[in-house]
Structure 1
């Protein structure tokens, strides 16, 4: 029976770990907020034998595969050291699979430290959001040794529908960052265009109806704007702070590779600004509100009674 540890029971990590709470796995979980891990074990422990670890060291003891899912790579690196850290107990031959949307530089440093102990490492950030995690349908972008990927593939298949080997250590992190930078560009650019159209007398719902059957469409225009912006719902599913972090990683990557990247760099600055203005708890789509403030208009606008009947 594969011995698995899952560290990081956040909004995406919890449903990911839930897919591993099954009889064929010996699962141990740990979370920085102990109450969340305790609740997880209370829900799944009796039926599936899931156990709670008090520390990362306890979570890693005698494990074959360790899955981490934390906000940033520094958080993962912080789990390694000290008497309660993973390196105190992780056995040689284990594999750490980091599903954090991390940065390539830190992932390579973690991989080197683990390799010195005979422990494998894969960066494996995920895409698909909370709904994808709940459905077990995430896309997983993997960087590292392909042989290690094949060893852990059955575990990843529990919560991932599409598993792509992207290259060496850091390749998964790099691809995830660029993907999210494109998401940010689509949100900001669509918002700018719609604010301009509203001020020119074109309703946003009409504009999106045309855009979404034309060449300007994107996931943002097809899903995020109709469901969240026009309705002014702005559900909090993915923090703006995390998108800011991801766009920054993509901008750093371009600079490291000496790529002329004015659009990436500008997008990184715009999302830093939105993050500063809206705070740590804002959803990523709420960045539209900054565009509206700067443009002096509202997407969707206000309709008079005649239009709403």
Structure 2
């Protein structure tokens, strides 16, 4: 089969090379050196698009914009006059779906097929044959295109039978990637300014709910002092602009995507047209007044000075998470327990724990006290309130706070306990109660070296996935960073998925493609699971996530980090929590987004 390829930029050249391995290939580009490079590898060069069309049965294009595609087809010396009836045109550009569909209709009138097959991959991924191709068009045209596309990559996904649906899905994927990218960078910048090392945050994020392609690829690259992308900032802005316009046309609110668009525009205006996507790291650093790389995590703790097996251990707070963590501890040692709800304490006593009716009684009996309560204020009251723990804790005791708490208040608590000869460490967890029971939950640990040394083996009895984060409060900061990034990824995913559903994209198609694309995040995966199954995947309370977003916002104010995207997301989650009321679960965010996108009565 005779193939033609137009558009030999970094991506298009690699796509053409994949085709050159198995097809007679003619190429054309406005830049002669690009043609010459492929010609040296065995391709035939054409003088213009018209000549290329005359030589080809199938023509593929990979150009920056839909306007460039239109010019290549309908402009002077364009493809149009050389395309015979039955010729197939495949648009691999990241274009505007409606404009691509309009061109398909114009070509159909001349007996020419056009389908879209957008590419989700960087040039080196294309070179390795791992690109994802998102194609859409009529059945007959797609079946004819399939073997051509499979010569580029085995990963060809049919996104629909309407021309433009592949580009729509690619556009939404890129918008999710952009939102997760900038959101991750700005929140990590806050964490760095608050004193946490980047390597610590990267490790925790990639184990937790904040995981996305930026945490997987870009953050490790920053640590190693290398670039992770080679993509023009102007092209990323173009993709996000198109997503914003897509949402505008559908009447789907996309506030986070709009804010991300604004930040990219600021970056491009500041850095100039030659800027790369990677240069946004410097823009975010400048906004926050901090360098992302660096920071000292602190060494691993020294060996415990006490015989940990001989220590008496207690647990305060036996809710969904605290109860699961306590049950893991009970598998390795006797455990003293207390909860403000007597029935919870009795339930644990029935399972072999040693019950205490009051906090003072438990404190007097224990060398180490774990606490897991809803807020740091509740922890403070449990320690220093009437008949609280602190009055009965012996000098040398250690408090291990597993609350998802406030690092500022935690540091005040640590100072107050230190004055009494009691050590304090923060050790929040990242995960769900089920992973705590299974022993697979991630645990963060921060505090004085000797206290961390004593806490380390006790925490490893709960889960081996332990990350040391440095000084007191740092573990709480890292937990807030993780939860805030997870919320940002959820918010931008909700927006883009609602736009996709409103436009007619199938949920199962989006799920199949997006889980493997650059817009992936742990939050997206959970949302897609709910959309596909119709069943909640988590019983985490929305109010608790709002609490963490508020703490992150306050920390940003304290350390002077802008947190533009994070605060926008916080406002959205606060509004949803107010709408759904007390006790609402995080999964109810989906119903809120469906309602505001006029999809409340539409099934997935």
TM-score, scaled relative to structure 2: 0.48
Q: Confirm or deny: 8 A CA contact 1:187 1:285 kept in the other structure.
A: no
Supply the distance in 2 between the matched residues of 1:164 and 1:20 (Cα, whole angstroms): 18
How many Å apart are 1:149 and its aligned residue? 1.1
What SS does structure 2 have at the residue aligned with 1:61?
A: helix
Distance 1:62 1:158 in 2: 19
Counterpart Cα distance in 1 of 2:92 and 2:215: 27
1:279 CA displacement? 2.2
The Cα shift of 1:236 comes to 5.2
1:246 maps onto 2:245 in alignment: no
Give yes or no for the alignment of 1:76 onto 2:69. Answer: yes
SS state of the match for residue 155, structure 2? strand
Partner of 1:38: 36
* Equivalent position of 1:29 in the other structure: 27
Alpha-carbon distance in structure 1 between the residues aligned to 2:276 and 2:199: 22
Residues 196 and 295 of structure 2 are in contact (CA less than 8 Å); yes or no, is this contact kept in structure 1? no
Does the residue aligned with 2:90 lie in a helix, a strand or coil?
Answer: strand
Q: Describe the superposition over 1:27-47 as per-residue Cα deviations: whole angstroms up to 9, x where unpaired.
A: 1111110121012112x22xx
CA positional deviation for 1:157: 0.7
Q: Which residue of 2 aligns with 1:233?
A: 226
Write the mapping of 1:212-291 to structure 2, written as runs, cut at 5 A.
212-227=206-221, 229-234=222-227, 237-291=230-284
1:42-77, CA deviations, whole angstroms, 9 ceiling, x for partnerless residues?
A: 2x22xxxx3110000000004211000111111111
Task: Map residues 1-12 of structure 1 onto 2, 5 A cutoff.
Answer: 2-12=1-11
After superposing on structure 2, the runs of 4+ consecutive aligned residues of structure 1 that deviate more than 6 Å are none
| Alpha-carbon distance, 1:255 to partner | 1.0
1:180: which partner in 2?
174
Deviation digits for residues 83-137 of structure 1, max 9, x if unmatched? 5110111111011001111111221221122111111011111011111110121
Instruction: Give the aligned partner of residue 123 of structure 1.
Output: 116
- 1:171 — aligned with what? 165
CA contact (8 A) 1:125 1:141 kept: yes
Worse overlay, 75-84 or 30-39: 75-84
- Tell me the distance in 2 between the aligned counterparts of 1:72 and 1:64: 23
Residue 288 of structure 1 aligns to a residue in which SS? helix
- Name whichever of 110-119 and 79-88 sits farther off: 79-88
- Per-residue CA deviations over 1:202-261 (Å, capped at 9, x if unaligned) read 11111111111011110110111211x233433652111111111111111111110121
Structure 2 CA distance, aligned partners of 1:35 and 1:66? 20
Q: Is the 8 A contact 2:231 2:277 kept in 1?
A: yes
Asked if 1:160 corresponds to 2:153, the answer is yes
> How many residue pairs end up in the alignment?
297
Partner residue in 2 for 1:15:
14
Q: Spell out the pairing of 1:282-301 with structure 2 (5 A cutoff).
A: 282-301=275-294
CA contact under 8 A between 2:4 and 2:55: conserved in structure 1?
no
- Name 2:597's counterpart in structure 1: none
Task: Report the 3-state secondary structure (helix = DSSP H, G, I; strand = E; otherwise coil) of the residue aligned with 1:157.
Answer: helix
SS at match of 2:8: coil
Structure 2 counterpart of 1:87: 80
Structure 2: gaps (5+ residues): 300-604
Secondary structure at the residue paired with 2:19? coil
Q: Distance in 2 between matches of 1:193 and 1:91?
A: 54
For 1:238-294, what per-residue CA distance to the aligned partner results, in whole angstroms no more than 9, with x for missing partners?
111111111111111111110121112111122122122222232213212111111
| Segment of structure 1 superposing worse, 76-85 or 157-166 | 76-85
Q: Which has the larger radius of gyration?
A: 2
The 5-angstrom pairing of residues 132-151 of structure 1 reads 132-151=125-144
- Distance in structure 1 (CA, Å) of the matches to 2:130 and 2:229: 20
Hey, what's the Cα distance between the residues in 2 that align with 1:82 and 1:190? Answer: 42
Report the TM-score when normalising by structure 1.
0.91
Unaligned runs of 5+ in 1: none
> Who is 1:51 aligned against?
44
